[in-house]
Amino acid sequence: MANPIKVRARFKEDVTEVKALISHPMESGRRKDKKTGETIPAHFIQEVVCTWKEKEVMKALWSGGISKNPYIAFRFKGADKGDAIRLSWTDNKGESGSTTAEIK
């Protein structure tokens, strides 16, 4: 299986810009299955965290209102080219994922 998180981190003018795409169904718990009429259970990412040198540089707390396969972008200062970042997520069912990327 391919990595469910695609991350790019680029350093430019003393700022690192991180862009990530996370593969996840992101069900709010409010939609109904068209065939059965049953409510589709909630299944969404609750927390996304980015660390650099074991320091938390970004933390997002989400709910069921985020779309399927969410995209996130943010910037932070202090890093250099060649440093590694780690992006991880945890959802409301206890599932999680993470990946590392080198800052280019």
Query: In the structure encoding, which two tokens stand for residue 66, read together?
Result: 């985020």
Whether 41 has a pLDDT exceeding 60, the answer reads: yes
Q: Is 79 helix (H, G, I), strand (E, B) or coil?
A: coil
pTM for this entry: 0.89
Enumerate the domain spans of the chain: 5-102
Average confidence (pLDDT) over 22-48:
95
> What's at 60, amino acid-wise?
A
> What's at 7, amino acid-wise?
V
Average confidence (pLDDT) over 13-21:
97
Whether 3 has a pLDDT exceeding 90, the answer reads: no
How far is it, in rounded angstroms, from Cα 8 to Cα 103? 8
Q: What is the pLDDT of residue 19?
A: 98
The CATH number that domain 5-102 falls under is 2.60.40.10
Average confidence (pLDDT) over 67-88:
97
Q: What is the pLDDT of residue 64?
A: 87
Average confidence (pLDDT) over 15-40:
95
Q: What is the mean pLDDT of the chain?
A: 95
pLDDT band at 50 (very low <50, low <70, confident <90, very high): very high
Residue 92 makes CB contacts below 8 A (sequence gap 6+) with 42, 43, 44, 46
- What would the 3-class secondary structure string for 4-69 be? CEEEEEEEECCEEEEEEEECCCCECCCCECCCCCCECCCECEEEEEEEECCEEEEEEECCCCCCCC
Whether 1 has a pLDDT exceeding 50, the answer reads: no
